[in-house]
Amino acid sequence: MADEKNNPDSSQDKLATLEEELKTSKPAAKNKNKPSSTSRPPTRPVRQAEKPRTPLMLWFVSLLSLTLTFAAIGAGYYFWLQWQNQQTQRTQLLDAQTQVNLRQGELERRVDATLAEQTSNMKDALSAAQAQIADLEHLVNIQAAKLNEVSGRRPSDWLIAEADYLVRMAGRKVWLEGDIRTALLMLQSADSRLQDTADPSLIPIRRLIAEDIQRLNQVNPVSVTSVALAVSGLTKLVDALPIALPNLPSTEAGATISEDAGDWRANLLRQWNFFVKNLINYQPRTAPIKPLLSEDQQWFIRQQLKLALQQAQLAVQQQENALYYQSLQRGLALIINHYDTEHTLVVQFTNSLQNLLDTNVEKSYPDAFASSQPLQDLLETRVSNAFSNKGQAL
């Protein structure tokens, strides 16, 4: 077929020969088909000659074969690409599986190492704890033995131990609770315990206890609890305080009218003058006019005053003096700006608030008691001497 496409002259020659053969065959066929008087009719029909293929059909067949060839080549190339992709994906999956297996193995090794390290640390900690427990048991046994030996001490040593305990408790009352009165009583009790020993060597320590008592006497004696309760009592009175409202100008009385009927002209003139004068009344004001407050605004002002007092109560309990004075001053400003300062309740409330402002609630506590450390040293010395004397006697 390729030769036919490349040699068009040969295809034309073949077509010409086919046409000549058809021309020569047609008369003969016609003569054969005509019946004659002498010849018999043919028993079999004469087979007609096959029609020759036209050039259009040849071109169509060639084009179809080329199309099928290219389609087969394309399908083969497509399937080859799919096979290549599958092989690539399979390789990638194998590589990924290999990486996952490697990572899993590494993680397992790390976990095993971590568990081993934690187990070792726990064993070490357990051994250290067991050693500490053994040391503590040994110390407990020693202290128990010492406690059994303490029964042979002098009575004065017990009094010194009581005095030391009372001084320590006084320090806790001062620095943890701010209870100066109880701390003073404890220091006085400690001094009386040392006095009962009748030991002249304890006079320096008693002098230090006296200095501690004088320092506590110089602390502000105002009770923080009393101030907080006073502020709480003022908070409950806020709802009863009247809020100031603007003063409306008073209207003038009507014109005086005579009861005599003969004075009707004068009465009519007075009424006319009063009507003309008071029909339109203009009074200039230079001071700012306070607007009327709604119920919500009045409630909001009362809540602000309560909040200021509650903050002052909390501040005095927490020894925050600056916040305490600031809260009371804010409450006093609210009373002056929004309440009727001429009312009796407001005046009494303002006086109480001013008294709280004038009350000094600041307290300066000593950093430490001068008698605390000497008492501890003396007690330790007495205990060590008692044990040493006990050992020598044994």
User: Residue holding tokens 């040849």?
Assistant: 58
Same domain, 319 and 383: no
Q: Where do runs of H (alpha helix) occur along the chain?
A: 2-6, 8-33, 55-150, 155-172, 180-196, 203-217, 224-236, 264-279, 295-317, 321-338, 344-358, 372-393
For 202-228, write each residue's pLDDT tens digit. Answer: 888 889 999 888 888 887 777 778 888
Residue 19 belongs to some domain of the structure: no
How many residues can be counted in the chain?
Answer: 394
- How much is the mean pLDDT over the chain? 77
- Is pLDDT of 289 > 70? no
For 143-195, write each residue's pLDDT tens digit. Answer: 766 665 554 455 677 888 888 889 989 888 888 877 788 888 999 999 888 88
Same domain, 212 and 297: no
Nearest in space to 361 (alpha carbons), one of 309, 314, 325: 325
The amino acid present at 39, given as its one-letter code, is: S
- Is pLDDT of 29 > 50? no
Residue 89 belongs to some domain of the structure: no
pTM of the predicted model as reported, rounded to 2 decimal places: 0.41
The amino acid present at 73, given as its one-letter code, is: I
Joined together, the tokens standing for residue 192 give 């009386």
Same domain, 324 and 345: yes
pLDDT band at residue 48 using 50, 70 and 90 as cut-offs: very low
Radius of gyration of the chain (CA): 62
Same domain, 330 and 388: no
Helix axes 55-150, 372-393, angle to 10 degrees: 70
Same domain, 299 and 358: yes
Helix (H/G/I), strand (E/B), else coil: 143? helix
CB 379 within 8 A of CB 160: yes
Q: What confidence score (pLDDT) does residue 251 get?
A: 47
Helix (H/G/I), strand (E/B), else coil: 390? helix
Residue 358 belongs to some domain of the structure: yes
Q: What confidence score (pLDDT) does residue 246 get?
A: 59
For 331-386, write each residue's pLDDT tens digit. Answer: 999 998 888 888 899 899 999 999 888 887 777 777 788 888 888 888 888 777 66
The rounded distance, in Å, linking the Cα atoms of 66 and 72 is 10
The rounded distance, in Å, linking the Cα atoms of 331 and 337 is 10
Task: Provide φ and ψ at 227, rounded to 5°.
Answer: -65, -40
Residue 130 belongs to some domain of the structure: no
pLDDT band at residue 46 using 50, 70 and 90 as cut-offs: very low
Name the least confident of 312-316, 350-354, 385-389.
Answer: 385-389
Same domain, 359 and 304: yes
Same domain, 180 and 200: yes
CB 340 within 8 A of CB 247: no
Looking at the structure of the chain, the number of domains it has is 2
CB contact set of 194 (below 8 Å; sequence gap of 6+)? 159, 160, 163, 202, 205, 206, 209
**Domain of residue 308, residue span:** 222-244+292-363
Q: 101, exposed or middle or buried, with CB in 10 Å at 0-12, 13-18, 19+? A: exposed
